[in-house]
Each structure stands twice: as C-alpha cells, then as structure tokens.
Structure 1
Amino acid sequence: MSPDRAVLRRALERGEQEGGSVEFKERLTEHLHLSEGRLESLAAQLRHRVLSGDGEATYVVGVTDDGGLAGISPEEFSESMDVLSLLAEEASAHIEEVKTWGVDGVANGDADADHGIVGVATIREGAVLEDDDHIVVGTAGHVDHGKSTLVGSLVTGEADDGEGSTRGFLDVQPHEVERGLSADLSYGVYGFDDDGPVRMDNPHRKSDRARVVEESDRLVSFVDTVGHEPWLRTTIRGLVGQKLDYGLLTVAADDGVTATTREHLGILLATDLPTIVAITKTDLVTDERVSEVEHEVERALREVDKTPLRVERHGVETAIEEISETVIPVMTTSAVTRDGLGDLDAMFEALPKTAGEVGDFRMYVDRTYNVQGVGPVASGTIKSGEVEAGDDLLIGPMQDGTFREVQVRSIEMHYHRVDEATAGRIVGIALKGVREADIDRGMALLPADADPNPVKTFEAEVMVLNHPTRIGEGYEPVVHLETVSEAAAFYPEGGQLLPGDAGRTTVEFKFRSYLVEEGQKFVFREGRSKGVGTVTDVTTD
C-alpha cells in the first residue's frame, strides 16, 4: 500500500466514533444536505469533529457508514466537495487538503474513474482569509545582504545574534509550499490582529504557521528569491511568475549596491511592482557609511527614473500613501538591534492589496495538475475581470496556435471552493473539455467570445542590464513574460545593443506562439546576460 493510500487505510481503521474526528459520507448533495435545517445540523457535526481532533477533522467520502468502499462518480465527488466546503465555512473551518483513489486500489490519479472513487478531505479549524486581508511580498537582493535574516526577525519578532540565527528559521524547502493555493504559500508568514503583530514561535512547524493564519485579521507572506548569480532564473520566475503585491529589496550597509542589486532592482521595477528598499546590517557600520549607502541607493533608483523616499525623514504614513511604481520608500534596518523593523511592521500592516487590471477576464496559466474527481486544473493569478463556475472560456494557444473551448467546472481559492473569483486572486480552475496533458504553462484563459491573436513576433523597447559584449541579430535569450518562459531571437534596431543600452528590437519566439499584448513587461536572460523590456507593438502571424 502506497504512503498516500495509507492515509485512507488509517482513517478507515480509526472509523467513526462518538467523540472522534473521523466522519464517513457516501455522498453529499446540494439538494439534500444544504436544505433548510440540514445545513445547520451537518455544520454542527463538522464542528464537533474538528474540535474532537484538536482543530483537525478527517472526512472520508465515497464510503458506506461502516467504512465499505462504495465509490462515487467524479461528478458526484466534485459536488460532494462543494457541499463539504460550504459546511466547513459555516463551521468556521476550511478544507486544507483532498486526496482521492480509485476503489480498485490504484494510487491517487491513476485509477479508472468508471470504477468510482473515494476521497479523504482534511478539514482544519479557522476560516480562510479573504485575499484583501493577505498581501504577498517578494524578497530580492544580493547573496548575504540579509534577506532571510531580516524576514526571519520580522516573522518571529526575535533579534538576530549577528550570525544569522533568525535566518535559520526560514531554511525550509520550497517544494513544501509549491502549490501556491493555500494561505501558507511562502517561506515566511506573519500577521496582525487588533493588538498588533501575530508572529511565529517556530516557522518549521506547520501548526505554528496555521496558528498565525487562524489568529490574524491580516496576513503577510514572503516569497523568497535566490541571491546567488547561478540561480537568477529562479529569482526571475519568483518575481515574474508569482502573484506579488510588493517587492522588498535588501542592500547590505557593509557592501552597498552591487551588480546583482541592480539586476534584481531592474527585474522588480520591470514588472511595475511597488517596492521597498531596506538597507540592512546597519549595526556593522558607522553612521557615515549608512549615509553613503543611502546615497548609492538613491542614485541607483534615479538612474532608472524612480523617486526615492526616505522613510526616516518623511514618515511611515507618507511612505504608505506614496509608494507606487515610481516612488520607492528607502529605510535603514538592523535585524540585530531591530532598528527599523517597527516601521516595516507598520507598513506591512497598512499597505493595501494591489488591484488587478481592468477589463475582460484573463488569466495566464502558471501550473497544471490533475485531480481525480475534479479533472484537469489550471492555476494562476487572474489578471483582469472575473470568472464564475459554469462559465464558457477559451484556452490556448495550443501547439498549432488555436484556442480550445472549455467550461469552468469549479474554482478553488486557498483550498476553498468558491462560485466566482476576481482580478488579483490566485485560483485553481477545474476545466471541462480539455486534457491536463494539453495545458501548458504560459497559456491564457479568456472569455468564450474573445477573438485572440497569438503571435510569434512582437516589437519591444528593451534595456540591457548586463552582457559581456554586445547583443547582435539572432541573439537567443529566454523571455519571461507573464507565465511564459520561452526561447526567443532578438533582432535589434541598428543591429546591436551594448550593456546599459536601451533600444528597440524585434522579438521572435523560437518554438510556438503566445498571447502577447502591448504594454506587457518582460525579463530576458541568457547566461550572464540579463535585461528587461516592454511590448510596444504586436505583429500577428
């Protein structure tokens, strides 16, 4: 028996008990189980199971009252999860995880749906925060400039010992939070309630992160990026492919602005991400050196037409009001003395969730997976508009450049089934009419009446951040645009671009077409070469 299937076995062995946390259901239907009076009774039952399990309950769906494997159809299982999600919400809880198996014993995802399926849903205490109460911050900066140490001190409230002790709190593996659909989508998280910050005692414990989410009225998550040069591609994907509300760029006072600092700053600003610059390690240097680094940061910002705003001079409230794609707050901090961390707390407590774009529904696919009983799921951030369960959409372009008609089967946000979702939300959309194998990262979901024109070629204004020689015709970097990561050939106007140059170029995707629109920002890199750009004109094929 596989480890996954062992979860089902343990639940069946424990069985239903009067004071236990396990509940068996063969099927849940909207007509029967959400009727007047029944909903309240079942929600109370769920609440009892959650409390009996010290904040966690296990619902086994697709089994008889005595634990026999009955199996239900994918459609019936999907409806059951919708009903269970509503019951959990009524009981101030939420579905954290769902695993499914075929009744013939095949492991999750491989069973024949015609034989029926059985699933285990883990229910946790605490309602899921609305996205308006949850901001996501992407950290960037040169290696050893104190990103993880600074965030470690923020989320724990602990001062660093000068040797990176708080950084150790955050040495967790990204694969633990890869799905990105739960409120716990990053390597560090803390929150706020009426009494101030709600911090973690030990970020290694998932239960501690869950406690922060449960107790907080507002949540702040940090998505780490990599400071080492060889892993800049990971940094780019973290900053371009993730849905971020703000950027936090660290600059060490003992080192100052480096080439990597400028590259990370360029990537942050190329995506129009409102950014805060934190000068770290101020405890290691003199006041004169701190002032020198402040001037270095301000010069670097003005070189890219941004306006620095010193928080210590103008105040936190002004920084909150003025932060934008063009105004960059700059502050001095020390994780050892905790100087400046109170100002960061105040900013993160008050900064608003950034809004999505205005217009018709549009979402670029970031990840795909197949959920038995639900079908293929495309996850990503809704760029504009809204989507509802049952909507007819287009997905593509496919390999041949066409778009395929699909229907929204269900929508999931933070493991919570919702009827609709709007711009700025990170969602998983279950689709009918397409196979998961046919969906690729970089594809777009659009309204059914849209008339998309995917292209292989477009015009752009670019800036070369770093290159060992010159960029000539036929230069082939990887272009990161929305969730697209594709090799492309550059044909610069005038035949070449030198390091530090800004100019126009034709960009041609090497293998396939994508949905590209004027005004979109992108990052390109190849080896040690990096640059940023803006789409200025789209040429249809």
Structure 2
Amino acid sequence: MLKKDELKNGNRSAEASLQPSTTASTTTQSPTVDSLGDKLNAINLTSVASSSLPLKRATTAAPTASAIAPIDDFDVNDMDDPLAGFEAQRSGIKDISLKEQFLSPTDDNIESLQTLLAARIREGSGETLFEIGVEEDGTPMKLSDAEYDTALATVKTAAATVGAEVAIMYEKNAGLSTGAPVVPESKDKEDKDANIAVEPSIAPIADVIDQPTYKSSYVMIRKTPKSVEELLELRVAVVGNVSTLLGVLTKGVLDDGRGKARVNLFRHKHEIDSGRTSSVGMEILGFDAKSVPVPTMSHGRNAPWDEICGKAAKVLSFIDLAGHERYLKTTVFGMTGCAPDFVMLMIGSNAGIVGMTKEHLGLSLALGVPVLVVITKIDMCPPNVLENTIKQLTKILKSAGCRKIPMFVKSHEDVVVTAGNFVSDRICPIFQVSNVTGEGLDLLKNFLNILPISQKYNRDDPVEYQITDTFSVPFVGTVVSGVVMNGIVHAGDQLYLGPDGNGAFQMVTVKSIQRKRLNVPLACAGQSASFGLKKIRRSTIRKGMVMLDKETIPPPRGCREFEAEILVLYHSTTIGHKYQAMLHCGAVRQTARVLAMDKPDQILRTGDRATVRFQFLQPAYLKVGARLIFREGRTKGIGKVSKIVA
C-alpha cells in the first residue's frame, strides 16, 4: 500500500497506479444525473414506504438527463429511511430469486410468482407495473434474448392464472450499443464536476461488439374485469384550453386547426358560439386489459359509453372544466366536488403562462392534487416563443410556492419512469403535443394508461356519498350523481340523506345504481355513480348534500358554524367581522360569514394565518380535516376544517 509521504514526494509511478482508466470504452454518467436519479428513487421509495399498504420495490430506472430538470433545494438526508419495511412485502412468498422463478417455470415457481403478482395487483387495485430483468432488491438479472423470452412467457403464464393480461410498455437493452456516446472519466478529482461539459466521443466498434447486451422491460399487468362494477376508474380534472385536446383523445379524430375536435364536447349553444366551456362536462377514455385504447368510433358514429365500458378494463373520466375567468366558480366546484385523482393543466405554447394558468395551478396545489402539464399547439408556435413558455413554466414549478420537479417527457422510457414515480407530489410531468399533427399524443395516452389508481379511499368505512348534481328522469324519478367517498353501496340500501334546511337527515332508499350509464348492483369507494331514489322530490335535494350509512351513530346533523385554520392568499384591504365569501369544501358550495378569529385586532391581511369561525347561511355536512377554499372577487384563501361548532 502506498503511503501519503510517497505521494507528496512526487512519486509519479504511484500516482499513475491510482489514476482511473481513461480508455474509450469507459463510461461515466453525469454527476447531476446520478444525484437526481438517487433523489427521484428516494422520493418514490419514501412515498410508498409511508403508505399503509405492503411495500413493493420501486420499479423505476434511473431517469435520463433530458427528462428531468435539476432542483437545488432538495435534500435526501432529510427523508426517512426509504427501505423501511421492505421485507414486509415478502411475507407468504418463497425465498427464491425472481430470475430462477422466471427461467425455471416449475409448478412451485409458477405458484410463487402467482402469489407475488396477485399481491402486486391487489396493492394496485387491479393492476401493477412490473419490471422484468431486475430482482426485487434492484440487482440486474442480465437476461439474454432467449432468457428474456422465457421470463416473459413465464410472467404471462402466471398472470393468466390470476385472470390478468400482460402488455409490454417499454423494452430496453442494458449495456453499450454500436456507436454509443461515451463520456471519458475525469483525470483529476477537481475536474469531475466538469464532466457534463465534455463532448462525448464515439466508442470504437471493435470495443463494443464483444460487450454483451442484456434485455429487460416494463410490463403492465392488469386484471380483466368480470363485470362493470370491477372496472378501474381514474378521474382527471382538465383545466385550461382543454376542449380540443379532450376531443382528440376521446373521439380519436385529429383537429383541423379550426375547432373541429371540440364541437362534440360542448353542451350549450353559447359554448359553440364562443368556443368556451362554461359548465362541468364529462368524457371518458377506455383501455382494455392489454393496455390498448378502446375504439371511440363505432360504425361511423361516436361509440356510446356503455359500449366503451363493456370492452374496457380501465376508464379515465375526464372532468372538462372551464378555463375562462368568468366561470372560475364553476371550475372550483368541479375541482372540489368531483374529487379528481389528478389534474391535467393545459397551456397554449403561443399564449404562454397567463393569469388563469397560475390560478388553476394554485388551486391544484391548495387541494393537494398531483398535476401534469400539457403544452399544446407546438406545430404552430415559433421555436423562440415555445422556449420562452417552457422557461416560464419551469421557473414557476421550481419556485418556493410550488417546489415541484419538472420532468419533460420525450420518450416511452420517460413515460414509464415518470408514471412509476408520480406517486410523489414533488414530480410534475410535462408533455408537448399537437392536436393537428398528432405529435406527442401517443406518449400522453401511454402515460394516462400507466397512471396508478388512487389509494385514498376505504371500502371498509361507513358509506359516504357526495352529491354533485341532481336530475329528474322520466319514468325513473329523482336521480343524484356524485362520488362514493367511503364504503360500498348496494341497490336497495337505505341511507341517510341531508342535511335539509333545518340540518336534519331523512332516510331514503337507493332504487338503482348506474356507472358510466350502465346498470350495476353496487358502487364502491372511489367510484363515480348515479343513484335512483325512491319517493323523494328533486326540489328537496341540492348540490352539496351527502348520503350516509344508516348505522351512523350518533345520527348525523348538519352544521352551521365551524372553525378552520386558514391562510389569506390575497386581499386588497382587510378581512374583519361579518366578512362574507363563497366557500368551497368538497361538494359544499355556499356563502359563509366570519364570526370571530383568534387575532387580537380581529383583522386579517394578505399572508396572515388564523383560526376563524365561519357561519353558513344553510346547514352543510363537513368533516374535520377537510380542505376548503374561499373566494370573493380577487380575494383568495385556503384552509382546513379544525372543529365543528354547531
């Protein structure tokens, strides 16, 4: 071993023995990419480890440099141990490597793999993104082409035994390929940060041919639903310049640049005349068990919802919200009442970041809903304008108010990596698409197909159903639509409905249930559904009411007064006693008045935090911990319900 004094005395031979090899076939990854990839994996593992579900290994690869914008204010050391509880996932599974299970498809190995896939599918509420070619601890299997084919066939066999289909999302070859760019290692420790600026050289073909390549892939394993009630559902709220893109996604027809694709989505004549959405609309996009989009055209016409859902295994419900400032109240109600799992923010590349874009982004952050951004009209936008729009967007996302990591999705590998890590609220995928040429639409559809099912709903809790709309259907009677927040509702169940004007609840019977315009025997937590009610008038029901389990003890009562911890985002002057504003909390949307606050001077200004007592004009049903938003003109504030008073 060399001593320090030998190096100090200039022993060049000793220094040479410690220098790293600088042959052309040696690769060194950018330090920025390494550190950010570690951060991204740490975010994903910590998010999964903190959940109440059994932990599974994050099936993600190190992201590419083009897919991620670096962030400087993130410290992995501040996070909990990402591997905490890792061994919990192996309970009930034989201690045998996945590679051996893949390449030796004996009955025992198939059974062990079947147990693993069944657990993963159960965790994912009916689907899971699985990586073939990597062990559970992240060790590469180094599968040759023949071994990979055997492993894929084994996975398909095991998936078939649990009633699931396997679809390849992305395949990759590990190792160097001919002519692959190589970044030489730095010869000096002080120059290691300069590796990013070094121009890559091309490895000689002779040095690359002898190097083996290994195959791996990401596959989507999705269970085939036996009936419509088992259909997977995701709700995506779409805000901004949305109608054209939704028309292209859900109708399967490209736009002509003059609004052809959006006409089919409008519900009112004035929307067609102005080209602006003014109400909350709903469109669906289905994927079958093999991750293939369900055709939206049938015999030259738009396929009805029941036909799409009959062929689909997973359905995305797009909540079409208004983008214009005039209809902001309707947009806020759609964001709070329809309980979206994700928000898709649309930005016109030629218009850039406008005022309403910031409003919609702030609304998503206030409600804690993950956001993905779609930049449209890239076919008609000059490159310098598009670059300026991207710079503005990146600056806003990385600001102290957002603290998100922008990830530009430009390949199918980026799609898989981003969707697998989207469980973290820190990540914001960014797509660039054209509704006229179709550029980027395949990446967006693939991303929507891989999006994970939300795990925030509990079927074992007592029933809670939020009413977002009411109808009077001929020969059926009164019908309500909304979202099942907790529990399971069966046709024929008796539930509490309320509160009415006096804060009381009455017992009603659910006569029938429909999901996506199909009759079903039950509706579970997290699903959108419509209930036909017996012997009740539509005039006695209003938006914001709830339906609760009949076994609720004590019997539910509506509240008029409650306390909330709020933050005033903006107000031109001051907020004081008897101040009134429109308050949104879940499906509740009504005027509330300030009765008192914990401020000595009883005054709130922009940026102030306080515990405020509000009073509704009509009784409403609230729960402690629910997020709320209040608005009045340009005044904006957010908060959480901390106490129900009366």
Say whether residues 1:149 and 2:253 are aligned partners: no
- 2:621 pairs with 515, 521, 529, which one? 515
Distance 1:441 1:150, change over 3 A: closer
Conservation of the 8 A alpha-carbon contact between 2:297 and 2:303: no
Conservation of the 8 A alpha-carbon contact between 2:581 and 2:592: yes
- Which amino acid is the alignment partner of residue 522 of structure 2? E
Alignment of 1:8-19 (within 5 A): none
Distance 1:300 1:427, change over 3 A: same
Deviations 1:289-342 (A, max 9, x none): 444433432343344344234143771112212224443222222324433222
* 3-state SS of 1:456 partner: strand
Conservation of the 8 A alpha-carbon contact between 1:203 and 1:209: no
Say whether residues 1:136 and 2:235 are aligned partners: yes
- 1:319 pairs with 409, 418, 426, which one? 418
- Which amino acid is the alignment partner of residue 540 of structure 1? V
Distance 1:320 1:412, change over 3 A: same
Deviations 1:392-418 (A, max 9, x none): 432222222222233444433344443
Say whether residues 1:529 and 2:625 are aligned partners: no
For 2:563 and 2:537, the matched residues in 1 are separated by: 33
Cα deviation for residue 348 of structure 1 reads 1.4
Partner of residue 86, structure 1: none
Say whether residues 1:250 and 2:346 are aligned partners: yes
Partner of residue 396, structure 2: 300
- 1:481 pairs with 570, 580, 585, which one? 585
Say whether residues 1:368 and 2:470 are aligned partners: yes
Cα deviation for residue 455 of structure 1 reads 2.1
Deviations 1:47-100 (A, max 9, x none): xxxxxxxxxxxxxxxxxxxxxxxxxxxxxxxxxxxxxxxxxxxxxxxxxxxxxx
- Which amino acid is the alignment partner of residue 422 of structure 2? I
- Which amino acid is the alignment partner of residue 480 of structure 1? H
Distance 1:509 1:421, change over 3 A: same
Alignment of 1:273-312 (within 5 A): 273-287=369-383, 289-301=385-397, 302-312=399-409
Say whether residues 1:240 and 2:348 are aligned partners: no
RMSD: 3.5
Say whether residues 1:219 and 2:219 are aligned partners: no
* 3-state SS of 2:624 partner: coil
Alignment of 1:344-363 (within 5 A): 344-355=444-455, 357-358=457-458, 359-363=461-465
Say whether residues 1:263 and 2:359 are aligned partners: yes
Distance 1:155 1:430, change over 3 A: closer
For 1:159 and 1:493, the matched residues in 2 are separated by: 56
Conservation of the 8 A alpha-carbon contact between 1:155 and 1:199: no
Partner of residue 411, structure 1: 513
- Which amino acid is the alignment partner of residue 381 of structure 1? V
For 1:389 and 1:241, the matched residues in 2 are separated by: 23
Cα deviation for residue 521 of structure 1 reads 1.7
For 1:437 and 1:332, the matched residues in 2 are separated by: 46
Partner of residue 430, structure 2: 330
For 1:434 and 1:155, the matched residues in 2 are separated by: 36
TM-score, normalised to structure 2's length? 0.55
Cα deviation for residue 224 of structure 1 reads 1.6
Distance 1:204 1:245, change over 3 A: farther
Partner of residue 39, structure 1: none
For 2:569 and 2:299, the matched residues in 1 are separated by: 36
Cα deviation for residue 362 of structure 1 reads 0.8
Cα deviation for residue 213 of structure 1 reads 4.8
- 2:480 pairs with 362, 378, 382, which one? 378
Cα deviation for residue 492 of structure 1 reads 5.4
- Which amino acid is the alignment partner of residue 403 of structure 1? F
Distance 1:507 1:380, change over 3 A: farther
Deviations 1:233-292 (A, max 9, x none): 221222222243321101222232222111111223333333211122333445554444
252-261 vs 352-361, which deviates more? 352-361
Partner of residue 34, structure 1: none
484-493 vs 196-205, which deviates more? 196-205
TM-score, normalised to structure 1's length? 0.65
For 2:549 and 2:568, the matched residues in 1 are separated by: 36
Conservation of the 8 A alpha-carbon contact between 2:306 and 2:517: no
Q: Which segments of 5 or more consecutive residues in structure 1 lack a partner in the other structure?
A: 1-126, 177-184
Cα deviation for residue 349 of structure 1 reads 1.6
For 2:503 and 2:357, the matched residues in 1 are separated by: 38
Distance 1:391 1:224, change over 3 A: closer
For 1:276 and 1:208, the matched residues in 2 are separated by: 28
Partner of residue 186, structure 2: none
Distance 1:187 1:540, change over 3 A: closer
For 2:306 and 2:536, the matched residues in 1 are separated by: 35
Distance 1:298 1:457, change over 3 A: farther
Alignment length, in residue pairs?
401
Conservation of the 8 A alpha-carbon contact between 1:454 and 1:540: no
- Which amino acid is the alignment partner of residue 345 of structure 1? K
Conservation of the 8 A alpha-carbon contact between 1:413 and 1:426: yes
Cα deviation for residue 346 of structure 1 reads 0.4
Cα deviation for residue 448 of structure 1 reads 2.1
For 1:425 and 1:405, the matched residues in 2 are separated by: 22
Conservation of the 8 A alpha-carbon contact between 2:558 and 2:619: yes
Bigger-Rg structure (1/2): 2
Partner of residue 89, structure 1: none
For 1:230 and 1:204, the matched residues in 2 are separated by: 36
- Which amino acid is the alignment partner of residue 330 of structure 1? I
Alignment of 1:170-189 (within 5 A): 170-173=265-268, 186=281, 188-189=283-284
Partner of residue 558, structure 2: 454
* 3-state SS of 1:344 partner: helix
